[in-house]
Amino acid sequence: MAGTATKSENRHVTEKIGIVGAGIVGLAVARELAQSRGAEVTVLEKEGRVGAHQTGHNSGVVHAGIYYPPGSLKARLCREGVALLKEYCAAHALPYEEVGKLVVASTRAERPQLSALAERARANGVPGITELDGLGLREIEPHAVGVGAIHSPHTAIADFPAVARRLALDVAELGGSVRLSHPVRAIRERLGGVEVLAGRRRFVFDRLVVCGGLGTDTVARMAGYPGDVRIVPFRGEYYALKGSAKDLVRGLIYPVPDPRYPFLGVHLTRHIDGEVLVGPNAVLAMAYEGYQWRNIRNFRQILSWPGTLRMARTHWRTGIKEIRGSIAKGAFLKAARRYVPALTASDLERTHGGVRAQAVARDGRLVDDFVVDVHGNVVLVRNAPSPAATSSLAIARHIAGIVPALVR
């Protein structure tokens, strides 16, 4: 009969999926769901451009998977993500350069931890890992010093904002849309779907995936799932090397990380545009977008989470050290000269920084692994710090595999 849908037509109704956040992870998720599931995707972004926050404020390093506990989600998705990202950049003529990384032990006391790190990297399948003595590391970085190092020759650098812009184009080409300047104002689950108010529009989706980064907690509360971890922002500040000082660093020079923290310490990083960055530190910010000291917009909300104060009580000495580095250029210079002693104060000039969305548990524990929760029709990416940009395409596949399938 005319006007009557068949059972076959009903089974092929296109699912509608909303994604909150147009950073590299949110855009990768949107592309994957449109490509693998044939979903009609809509990305909602409060800013006027894609990749406005963490994606656009990082050092551009494509991590190889050295640091992460074997078997963790980070370790698996980082290794998968590197391969996918390298292939994606090649397919779209996006910058990707394997400049290599040295993780340098500056004292003999750090040698055992360096060896353990090398074993972890091999367990994660990182290719080409070699352990070097002080002479060997200078063959890689002639101006660097240390008692030993791990060399990861395939660690790379990329232009993550450019990747994000390309992903947004992919979403559009797959029939989806990226709605900029559409801040989410309300979320309501209803039978079989999710209703979202964003900007001045009302959207109805079958599923909603929240990749909100620094805004994760705000969106999670709107959805009715505040969760057992909360985002605590840490500002990372950088200096850039000036003039001929850039020639003192060929690739990436990192310290042996402190195992108590998910931060890697002040390091020297060659950027895809030739700039060499020194940093970042990790200073507790008082605003989710606290790129400047004077921004304390969210301090009540941040300090009201019990985990924030418990974390501060445990790590206050390190916190003071990081603040000192933020205030005094000399502290940054001292950290950099530990590995490249030829640097002088006149070689460093302050440049842009960023803010990292770090999940903290109620007991004050800094959550190290990626965390993704599913609540009915809502999927929440609770914690996606570094190496999320490296892992973005693999994270997208992982999320696509756990977004509940649409049943009509």
pLDDT in tens, the chain (408 residues): 344 444 444 446 799 999 999 999 999 999 999 999 999 999 999 999 999 999 999 889 999 999 999 999 999 999 999 999 999 999 999 999 999 999 999 999 999 999 999 999 999 999 999 999 999 999 999 999 999 999 999 999 999 999 999 999 999 999 999 999 999 999 999 888 999 999 999 999 999 999 999 999 999 999 999 999 999 999 999 999 999 999 999 999 999 987 776 677 789 999 999 999 998 888 899 999 999 888 899 999 999 999 999 998 988 677 777 777 777 788 889 989 999 999 999 999 999 889 999 999 999 999 999 999 999 999 999 999 999 999 999 999 999 999 987 655
d(C-alpha 220, C-alpha 227), whole Å: 8
Which pTM was predicted? 0.94
Q: Are residues 350 and 285 in the same domain?
A: yes
**184 shares a domain with 69:** yes
Distance CA 102, CA 95 (A): 21
Contacts of 142 (CB under 8 A, 6+ apart): 250
Please report, for residues 28, 38, 51, 300, 356, the alpha-carbon distance to residue 47 in angstroms, rounded to integers and kept in the order given.
17, 27, 9, 24, 17
245 and 152 in one domain? Answer: yes
Considering the domain architecture, whether residues 299 and 198 belong to the same structural domain is answered as no
Determine which helix (DSSP H) or strand (DSSP E) holds 312, and give its type and residue range. helix 306-314
Whether residues 277 and 258 share a domain: the answer is: yes
Q: Which two tokens stand for residue 141?
A: 């970085």
Q: Locate 160 and state its tokens.
A: 């993550």
Q: Are residues 165 and 216 in the same domain?
A: yes
CATH number at residue 399: 3.50.50.60
Identity at 377, one-letter amino acid code: N
CATH number of the domain within which 106 lies:
3.30.9.10
Whose tokens are 């509360």? That residue is 221
For residues 166 and 152, membership in a common domain is answered with no
Strand ranges for 258-341 from DSSP E: 267-270, 276-279, 283-284
Residue 10, C-beta contacts closer than 8 angstroms, at least 6 positions apart? 408
- With contact defined as beta carbons under 8 Å apart, do 25 and 56 qualify? no
The candidate with the shortest Cα–Cα distance to 51, out of 156, 158, 160, 214, is 160
Kindly state whether residues 73 and 194 are assigned to the same domain. yes
Please indicate, yes or no, whether residues 140 and 289 belong to a single structural domain of this protein: yes
Whether residues 88 and 215 fall in one domain: yes
- A 10 A CB-CB count for 321 gives 14
Q: Is the peptide bond before 387 cis (omega within 30 degrees of 0)?
A: yes
Sequence letter at residue 386: S
292: Cβ contacts below 8 Å, ≥ 6 apart: none
Range of the domain at 29: 15-97+157-228+369-408
Q: In whole angstroms, what is the distance from residue 22 CA to residue 214 CA?
A: 12
Largest CA distance in the chain: 83
- Find tokens 């969305």 and name the residue: 357
Number of domains in the chain: 2
Round to whole Å and give the CA distance between 22 and 352: 21
Q: Give the containing element (helix H, strand E) for 65.
A: none
